[in-house]
Amino acid sequence: MEGVIHIPAGERGVIRLFALDMRPEQAAFLKEPGALAQVLGIAALDMDQVEIFPVSDLEDIGLVGYLSEGCGVPRAQVEQDRELLQGLEGYVLLIRSRAFDDVETRLTPADQIMLQGTYGERQTNWNAAPASAESAKPYSAPKLSPRLARAQARRIGATLFALVMALIALAVWALVL
């Protein structure tokens, strides 16, 4: 079938850009519940993951800047379509893959809705570099013999005890005067 766009189940991090060849009031109507899903030929769509706006609203940033800076699409990916994106006028439609609720979907958009590009969002690299510092290795703390550790703990305890007792004696002396 020509004009069918397949969205696989569980798709993540994909943005599809469509040009809308329609009057402004028709584009505004697509924001109504169920209207966009109907013209895309599907049952339901998460409208929180959909944007419909005139390209002129982007002013100086343009679609290139909006996709790369606002939507997290890698700059190199957007640069490939720079001429196409700068040439778009009127209303556009952005649909994130989360709009399909991880369900396999086949879009059959109306003739006024034309796919212009598919872009992948920047993915976070969750792989951490292995710890390489000497202090991060297990059992790398300086080793004290148990006898030295107890002696050190006694000295610290005796110092704190003497300090607290001196403060109490000072407080009692201040109350007596």
User: Distance (Å, rounded) from C-alpha 83 to C-alpha 175?
Assistant: 84
Torsion sign over Cα 75, 80, 84, 86: positive
Query: Which residue from 100, 84, 103 is spatially nearest to 92, judged by alpha carbons?
Result: 84
What pLDDT sits at residue 1?
42
Q: What is the DSSP letter of 49?
A: G
Q: Taking a C-beta distance cutoff of 8 angstroms, is the pair 75, 37 a contact?
A: no
Report the Cα 16 to chain-centroid distance in Å.
Answer: 17
pLDDT reported for residue 166: 97
Give CA separation, 45 vs 3, 54, 69, 82, 101, in Å.
19, 21, 25, 29, 8
| 134: its two tokens | 């000497």
Q: What is the pLDDT of residue 2?
A: 60
Radius of gyration of the chain (CA): 32
As a whole number of angstroms, the distance between CA 117 and CA 50 comes to 15
pLDDT tens digits in sequence order for the chain, 177 residues long: 467 899 999 888 999 999 999 999 999 999 999 999 999 999 889 999 999 999 999 988 999 999 999 898 999 899 999 999 999 999 999 999 999 998 999 999 999 999 999 999 877 777 777 767 777 777 777 777 889 889 999 999 999 999 999 999 999 999 988
Its pTM stands at 0.67
